[in-house]
Amino acid sequence: DGQLRAMPSVRRFARQNGIDLTKVIATGRHGNVTLEDVKNFQATGKEIET
């Protein structure tokens, strides 16, 4: 569950941008998904399954 792999602000950003955190590769400290990870994921233009 991506909820537990990202900080609250990153979760909020992902939600607002329709990104599924479970599909994002984490590069942050302690295996966290960072804001940058989410933005990179967004930039690759992958289809987000809803």
Instruction: Quickly count: other Cβ atoms within 10 Å of residue 21's Cβ.
Output: 21
16 binds another protein (CB under 8 A): no
Instruction: Quickly count: other Cβ atoms within 10 Å of residue 14's Cβ.
Output: 25
47 binds another protein (CB under 8 A): no
Stretch that binds another protein, among 17-25, 28-36, 40-48 (CB under 8 A): 28-36
Cβ contact 3:15 at 8 Å: no
Looking at residue 16, its amino acid is Q
Of 30 and 49, the one with the shorter C-beta distance to another protein is: 30
Q: Which spans of this chain sit near another protein (rule: CB under 8 A)?
A: 7-9, 12, 28-30, 32, 35
